[in-house]
Structure 1
Amino acid sequence: MMLTRLTAVEAKLFLRDPGAPITVIGVPVALLLVFGLMPDNGRPSDDFGGQAPLPGFIAPLAVAILIAMLALTLFPAAMASHREKGVLRRLAASPVPPSRLLAAQLLVNLGAALVVVLLIVVGGRLALGLALPANPGGFLLTLVLGTLALFSVGLLVAALASTGRAASGIGTAVFFPMLALGGVWVPKEQLPGVLRGLADVLPLGATFNALRSSWTGTFPAPLQLITLAVFALVCGVVAARVFRWE
């Protein structure tokens, strides 16, 4: 019951800030629509490993960026802000453990991610003729592991940052290099050899490239899935040990 109330409060705070919902919904959907409406996006292209750009790059890009924005910027900033304002300290002195607030924050962010992923998949299908993920098992497994890995990194950022502004800055500093090195700005097939391998061992790049594979019908590479599991475990354990409620 208390977790339900906390989740409802955190959801209201999330929706009350116009920047958060606009960013979470607007950026991925805009990426899908703007690039998806370009001509020939449904035809195979050598630039995208012989796959059509829409299912082979654009749609997975929208999903991966959505999860990364929530996990690396919004979630850690919210948790660090609660610590900065003394909310976690007050909860620690009450019958409600601060971990309930952490769980509520995770539920709100995961709920937002689920809604927008469905919007991308279903809306893309209806508006753009986007093919559904051809390997649904690999797609769901990637979503789960990618979400765990990226939110574990975000939890570590929240654990180390002293203020909400610091958490947002650190998360952004982590987010953009992952975009550059993960095959997101430039398709992995067009990266030099060393960077091509690096794209599969960064959590955002591994998530994105595994989504690309599963959306076009192949199972994600073992290296990508192992990378996500390792990041989820290591960052989650470290964050749990160093996280400060005050």
Structure 2
Amino acid sequence: MSALTKMTQVEAKLFLRDARAPATLLGLPLALLLVFGLMPGVNDPDPKYGGRTGLAAVIAPMSVALMLAMLALTMFPNVLATYREKGVLKRLSASPVRPSRLLVAQLLVSLLSAAVVVLLIVGVGRLALHVELPRNLAAFAVSILLGTASLFGLGLLIAAFAPTGRAASGIGGAALFPLMALGGVWVAREQLPPLLGHVADVLPLGATLSSLREAWAGNWPSPLQLGSMVLVAVVCTAFAARFFRWE
């Protein structure tokens, strides 16, 4: 068994041992889906969404995008910054195990958690609320991959500069709220002014949400949405790699 595999297993156990993280990660998006799903009329065809239900057109994609953002911007950087704060990364640098392997292991655990929750949201929505599945599965997969890359790139950038775990959570939370406000989470994109609609398409959370909505409707995301996610992922990851401090 390789050192990376062992470290990933350890990180997964630590993640599951802290009940708050899985509960938050699973509870909030699923609660959002279920609470809105039980509201009268939300599962009825709506001309505003092209005859689709509000649950499939907005709520289900929003639950997935919000889960990815929470994991990438608050939980992921918090763990890395806490390890730096406690000297874990510094001690690893003096051992045969490279600190970068811990980073990769933590990233793998986070990505696996994201995959599980995406499947749960889609599965619970389908079985419990009869939410239609994404009509364009290829576009859905591309949106998930690029959205995850852009949001985790931003989370890695936060982890690169945050001196402590508490600071990482604070910075991530401070970044999350404006991204939600401008990304079509609090107000549906159709209700945003045209200028803010274009802004939503270039922000990582807004681009992810809009891409997922397009995929659920059976369409392909716009080149602007796809390109913005790629750009954010590349730029944030490059800056994080350049300035990341192990101690």
- State the TM bucket, normalised to the shorter chain: over 0.9
Q: Runs of at least 4 residues of structure 1 off by over 3 A?
A: 46-51
Partner of 1:209: 210
In 2, Cα distance between equivalents of 1:49 and 1:222: 22
What is the rounded CA distance, in whole Å, between the counterparts of 1:210 and 1:49 in structure 2?
16
AA aligned opposite 1:102: L
**How do 1:51-200 residues align onto structure 2 when only pairs under 5 Å count?**
51-200=52-201
Q: Whole-Å Cα distance in 1 between the matches of residues 48 and 160 of structure 2? A: 40
CA distance in 2, matches of 1:48, 1:176: 25
CA contact (8 A) 1:133 1:139 kept: yes
Q: Which residue type is aligned with residue 65 of structure 1? A: L
Q: Is the aligned partner of 1:240 residue 2:241?
A: yes
- Name the residue aligned to 2:17: 16
Q: Relative to structure 1, is the Cα distance of residues 50 and 221 closer, same or farther in structure 2, using a 3 angstrom cutoff?
A: farther
Offset of residue 169 of structure 1 = 0.3
2:106 and 2:172 mapped to 1: Cα distance?
16
> Which residue number corresponds to residue 218 of structure 1?
219
What is the deviation of 1:42?
Answer: 2.5
Which segment is superposed worse, 48-57 or 165-174?
48-57
Secondary structure of the corresponding residue to residue 208 of structure 1: helix
- Structure 2 residue ranges without an equivalent (≥5): none
Q: CA RMSD in A?
A: 1.1
Matches within 5 A, 1:40-51: 40-48=41-49, 51=52
Residue by residue over 1:20-64, the C-alpha shift from the partner in whole angstroms, topping out at 9 and shown as x without a partner, is: 011000001001111012222222335546532111001001100
Residues 223 and 50 of structure 1, relative CA distance in 2, 3 Å threshold: farther
Q: Provide the residue aligned with 1:34 in structure 2.
A: 35
Query: Within 2, Cα distance between the matches of 1:181 and 1:132?
Result: 26
With 101-110 and 46-55 compared, the bigger mean Cα shift is at: 46-55
Of all paired residues, the percent bearing the same amino acid is 60
Measured in 1, the distance between the counterparts of 2:65 and 2:126 equals 18
Matched to 2:187, the amino acid is V
Structure 1 residue 221: Cα displacement: 0.9
CA distance in 1, matches of 2:154, 2:52: 31
Does the 8 A contact of 1:73 with 1:171 survive in 2?
yes
Q: Deviations over 1:75-128 (max 9, x none)?
A: 000000000000000111111000100011001111111111101111211111
Distance (whole Å) between structure 2 residues aligned to residue 37 and residue 215 of structure 1: 20
Amino acid at match of 2:34: L
Would you say the 8 A contact 1:77–1:158 is kept in 2?
yes
Is 1:48–1:189's contact at 8 Å kept on the other side of the alignment? no
Distance 2:121 2:206 in 1: 19
